[in-house]
Amino acid sequence: MISLRHVSTTFAARGKEPITAVDDVSLEIPAGSIQGIIGFSGAGKSTLLRNINLLERPTSGEVWIGDTEITALKDEALRRARHQIGMIFQGFNLVNNLTVAQNVELSLKFSGVRDKAERRRRAAEALETVDISEKAKNYPAQLSGGQKQRVAIARALATKPQVLLCDEPTSALDPFTTATVLQYLADINREFGITVVIVTHEMEVIKALADNVAVMENGRVVEQFPAGDLHREGFTPTTSIGRYLVSDGISVNKAGAAVSEDAFDVVAEGVEDYEGEAGPEQQEPGAQRERSIFAAVEGGVR
Amino acid sequence: MDLVIYRLPDMAQALAETLAMIGVAIPLAVLIGTPIGIWLFLHAPSGIKPTPKTHAVVSGIVNTIRSFPFLILLIAILPFTQFVVGTTVGTAAAIVPLTINAIPYFARLVEQNITQLGSGAVEASRAMGATRGQIIRNVLLVDAKPAIIGSITITTVSFISYSAMVGIVGGGGIGEFAIRYGYYRYETSVMLAAIVVMIVLVTAVQWGGTRISRMTDKRIAA
């Protein structure tokens, strides 16, 4: 479905060394799947995501969605392709002086739906999908973060896209709200068969939602594995960055020793040990448990 | 006090002249300055459609006009004024330099208003496949509206004050009235009365502007 072929993106600043944000990335994302992209800040994951809809045009390489080479498109053709690619952001990026309904209608307006009544109907439908119809006449400032993100999802969905790009969609949200938003993304993926690409620095998000995960470091995809592996006992990523991200732990070196690449290994190994001792309860934050959390959330929301 | 009453008809006419000058110059400045402000934002080196060279030229022209002390601009463009309104004296002639001065002033304010919005909604719109025109109409102007109304208020107040200087071309107006009778003829009470009128005028504009701006601003939870 989405195919990234040797994609590289270099930012050239005058008088400075050019920065390679994305370095020769090739990635195949099957239709209808949820692809996680994980890495630290500056790993190039957001740039890679923005390469897909050409918000950031790759310096070299090709991006394909279905039979269309996105990187070959310009202006009008690119805009039309973008109508089929929804996107949500960490900061929600809503228009603050428009109501919730007007925000959702915006994507329909931009995609060329001229009939006002149809725009209104389809916006209402999209808001229904994320259960936020009752806020249709409110302004973004009157909503919580989770509600804003749901409006953003509705806005992205209203045009019935084939692809939904998610740029750190839950990084500004608390864990409970995160679970709610992820549940909606999972539902949308299942119900509409939309291919979802989600960028995050939280392995929990990947674990809960993704089918496959690509680990990025210094602009490269250093490791890929099925997200289901994360639920498998004794699973260990092959790269140190992968292990560190799986450990999901924040560690502060209070002794004041220099933090090096090796420190990641130590931390990751420490956590592995910890997980080894943790017993079955700790080891089974597996599919069932995640789903049951969501079931509870879902029950509460709907 | 008697003197003030004696001068009242003159003062009323002067007030009418001020209202005429502001009433024409400010709408014109908004009409012409807004697109220039948007253009400056879009084509800035960091804008959506960077054209650094043309931007530098337009920005330079804006800065040049803004650098002129108003009194000098007033005189410098007399030939242009003659060309536009067919005369270089009177209220109509005064409107020309006021407008010329207000356009770049307002354009810069609009540019600031839009720049301060942040790029989030614009980025989302680009991702939705919006054209530049759609982004300007549906996102930038919508979110910047309260700030732009604030800028109209500021410009109006500034130019009520500037309009006092157009006495030099016989432009009239309440400010010129205050200078003519109060300052040159030592009619202090008349000057004070004129200044009170100006204070009332400025206060009314500021109060109205702030109110409208706040009414259109939905960025803060009500």
Q: Write the pLDDT tens digit of every residue in B20-68.
A: 999 999 999 999 999 999 999 999 988 888 899 999 999 999 999 999 8
pLDDT tens column, B113-161: 999 988 899 999 999 999 999 999 999 999 999 999 999 999 999 999 8
What angle is formed at CA B155 by the lines to CA B153 and CA B157, rounded to 5 degrees?
A: 70
Mutation target to probe the B interface, by most B beta carbons within 10 A, among A97, A119, A160 is A97
Interface test with B, best of A11, A90, A93 (most B CBs within 10 A): A93
Residue A61, SS3 per DSSP: strand
Q: Give the pLDDT of residue A165.
A: 96
Query: Which residues are CB-neighbours of B92 under 8 A, at least 6 positions away?
Result: B85
Looking at 2.60.40.10, 3.40.50.970, 1.10.3720.10, 1.10.10.10, the CATH number of the domain B17-171 comes to 1.10.3720.10
A-chain residues within 8 Å CB-CB of B221?
139, 141-142
Instruction: Sort out which chain A residues have CB atoms less than 8 A from B52's CB and list them.
Output: none
Q: Kindly determine whether residue B134 and residue A109, on different chains, have CB atoms separated by under 8 Å.
A: yes
A256 falls in which pLDDT band (50, 70, 90)?
low
Best interface-test mutation with A: which of B48, B114, B116, B128 has the largest number of A CBs within 10 A?
Answer: B128
pTM of the model: 0.81
* B29: closest CA of chain A, how far (Å): 24
Indicate the domain borders of chain B: 17-171
Place of tokens 């250093």: A222
Report the side by side order of strands in the sheet with A195-200. Answer: A85-88, A163-167, A195-200, A34-38, A212-217, A220-226
Q: What totals of helices (H) and strands (E) does chain B contain, helices first?
A: 10, 0
The proportion of chain A whose per-residue pLDDT surpasses 70, expressed as a percent, equals 82
Q: Cβ–Cβ of B128/A83 closer than 8 Å?
A: yes
In angstroms, rounded to a whole number, what is the distance separating the alpha carbons of residues A129 and A231?
29
Give the tens place of pLDDT for each residue, B173-205: 998 898 888 888 988 899 999 999 999 999 999
| A2-12+19-84+161-301 homologous superfamily | P-loop containing nucleotide triphosphate hydrolases (3.40.50.300)
> Interior CA angle at A11 toward A6 and A16, to 5°?
135
CB contact under 8 Å between A97 and B131, yes or no, is: no
Question: Residue A258's pLDDT is what?
Answer: 52
Closest CB to B220: pick one of A78, A80, A141: A141
User: With 80 as the cut, is the pLDDT of residue A44 above it?
Assistant: yes
Nearest to B219 among A85, A96, A109 (CB): A96
* Subunit contact A95:B216, Cβ cutoff 8 A: no
- Is residue A272's pLDDT more than 50? no
Q: Is residue A133 classed exposed, middle or buried when 0-12, 13-18 and 19+ CB atoms within 10 A define those classes?
A: middle
The model's pLDDT over A58-75, given as tens digits with 9 standing for 90+, comes to: 999 999 999 999 999 988
pLDDT range class, residue A241, cuts 50, 70, 90? confident
Contacts of B219 in chain A (CB under 8 A): 96-97, 139, 141
- For Cα atoms A264, A265, A270, give the angle at the middle one, nearest 5 degrees: 100
Among partner residues A95, A110, A165, which is closest to B121 by beta-carbon distance? A95
Maximum Cα–Cα distance for chain A, whole Å?
65
A92: which chain B residues are within 8 Å (Cβ-Cβ)?
120
pLDDT band at A250, cuts 50/70/90? low
- In B, what residues contact A, Cβ < 8 A? 120-121, 123-131, 134, 138-139, 142-143, 145-146, 216-222
Confidence of residue B165 (pLDDT cuts 50, 70, 90): confident
CB contact under 8 A, A109 and B222: no
Domain boundaries, chain A: 2-12+19-84+161-301
Using one digit for the tens of pLDDT, what is the confidence trace for A145-198? 999 999 999 999 999 999 999 999 999 899 899 999 999 999 999 999 999 999
pLDDT band at A249 (very low <50, low <70, confident <90, very high): low
Mean of all residue pLDDT scores within chain A:
84
The complex scores an ipTM of 0.82
Residue among A85, A92, A139 minimizing CB distance to B218: A139
Q: Decide if pLDDT at A139 tops 60.
A: yes
Q: Is B131–A152 a contact, with Cβ atoms under 8 angstroms apart?
A: no
